[in-house]
């Protein structure tokens, strides 16, 4: 009898989301006796599955794929590019497989930094989070510089720093607006990136098969031209890894 009374007195806390506190807070009459109200502080999850999937696909396509491919081909050669991109792609593929296994085994909210802290150590997860933030900060600055390089290819009449400054304000504005608006803009930009890659692949196949100025089939004839397939030796091969990782 005593244990039954004790179980009646100890009641589980009622948990509600922080954004619904004001509109769903129970009145004094609705509160269970002795049950404290615990407010869970979580971010608003307003990204749709469509937006998340497209952002994940386009997130694997970096700026280096658009701006550094030609330079890598000139400094390292076709064989160096093929091997470097294959190695980097294999590393990314294995990493995503591992992340998928951890997400399936422990479905918690958070990035791979959260899993690093859970499966390795909290200090490791903390360090990895700051490292990831620093990587994104540097990548954002590199993308703004890449805009100047892209603009310089077409015209020199417009100052490059102004072009980067305009897009910096655009980036800040997109991060200030609501999550849904940000997700929709990310979806459109990611879709544009994926469509561009598909168009490049189709054009590359067409040019290789004879859709060029000379109307000749290229095939693998350029694979051994000049210093190819390995240009610059081991130094050229190693330099391609930088572009492959950034791409």
Segment 101-117, tens digit of pLDDT? 988 898 887 778 888 89
90 shares a domain with 28:
no
- Using an 8 Å Cβ cutoff, are 128 and 141 in contact? no
Q: Is residue 36 part of a domain?
A: yes
Q: Is residue 127 part of a domain?
A: no
H/E segment holding residue 40: strand 37-40
Nearest Cα neighbor of 197 from 79, 93, 59 is 59
Give the span between the Cα atoms of 39 and 137, in whole angstroms. Answer: 32
Q: Which two tokens stand for residue 228?
A: 């190819």
Q: Which two tokens stand for residue 170?
A: 């655009």
212 shares a domain with 161:
yes
H/E segment holding residue 198: helix 179-208
214 shares a domain with 156:
yes
Q: Is residue 10 part of a domain?
A: yes
Long-range (24+ apart) CB contacts under 8 A made by 219-225 are 222/78, 223/78, 223/79
152 shares a domain with 216:
yes
- pTM score over 0.75: no
Q: Is residue 20 part of a domain?
A: yes
Bridge partners for 40 per DSSP: 17
71 shares a domain with 20:
no
Mean pLDDT, range 38-58, rounded to an integer: 76
Q: Is residue 14 part of a domain?
A: yes
132: pLDDT strictly greater than 60: yes
54 shares a domain with 36:
no
85 shares a domain with 182:
yes
101 shares a domain with 6:
no
Top-confidence residue, 198 or 153: 198
95 shares a domain with 6:
no
Domain that holds residue 210: 49-108+140-246
Helix axes 179-208, 49-58, angle to 10 degrees: 50
Mean pLDDT, range 59-73, rounded to an integer: 80
Report how many domains make up the chain: 2
59 shares a domain with 21:
no
pLDDT for 126: 94
Q: Is residue 126 part of a domain?
A: no
Provide the b/e sequence for 86-114 (b: ≥16 CB within 10 Å).
eebeeeeeeeeeeeeebeeeeeeeeebbb
- pLDDT tens digits for range 176-219: 888 888 889 989 989 998 999 999 999 999 999 988 888 889 88
Nearest Cα neighbor of 206 from 214, 217, 196, 195 is 217
Give the span between the Cα atoms of 142 and 46, in whole angstroms. Answer: 29
Q: Is residue 22 part of a domain?
A: yes
159 shares a domain with 79:
yes
Q: Is residue 120 part of a domain?
A: no
179 shares a domain with 97:
yes
Q: Which two tokens stand for residue 202?
A: 């189709």
pLDDT for 110: 76
**What are the distances in angstroms from CA 167 to CA 139, 145, 162, 164, 232?**
14, 11, 9, 5, 36
Q: Which residues 6+ apart lie within 8 Å of 80 measured at CB?
A: 72, 229, 230, 231, 232, 236, 237, 240
Bridge partners for 2 per DSSP: none
Alpha helix (H) residue ranges in 30-159: 49-58, 64-67, 69-105, 112-119, 122-154
């Amino acid at each position: 009898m005593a244990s039954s009374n004790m179980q009646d007195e100890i009641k589980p806390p009622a948990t509600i989301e922080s954004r619904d506190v004001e509109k769903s807070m129970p009145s004094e009459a609705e509160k269970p006796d002795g049950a404290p109200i615990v407010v869970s502080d979580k971010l608003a999850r307003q990204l749709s599955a469509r937006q998340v999937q497209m952002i994940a696909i386009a997130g694997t396509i970096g700026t280096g794929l658009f701006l550094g491919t030609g330079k890598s081909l000139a400094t390292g050669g076709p064989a160096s590019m093929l091997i470097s991109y294959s190695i980097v792609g294999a590393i990314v593929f294995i990493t995503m497989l591992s992340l998928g296994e951890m997400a399936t085994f422990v479905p918690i909210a958070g990035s791979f930094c959260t899993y690093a802290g859970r499966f390795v150590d909290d200090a490791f997860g903390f360090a990895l989070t700051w490292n990831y933030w620093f990587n994104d900060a540097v990548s954002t600055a590199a993308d703004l510089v890449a805009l100047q390089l892209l603009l310089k290819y077409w015209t020199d009449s417009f100052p490059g720093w102004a072009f980067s400054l305009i897009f910096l304000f655009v980036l800040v504005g997109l991060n200030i607006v609501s999550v849904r608006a940000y997700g929709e803009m990310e979806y459109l930009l990611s879709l544009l990136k994926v469509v561009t890659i598909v168009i490049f692949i189709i054009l590359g196949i067409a040019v290789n098969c004879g859709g060029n100025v000379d109307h000749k089939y290229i095939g693998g004839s350029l694979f051994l031209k000049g210093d190819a397939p390995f240009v610059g030796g081991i130094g050229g091969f190693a330099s391609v890894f930088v572009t492959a990782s950034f791409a």
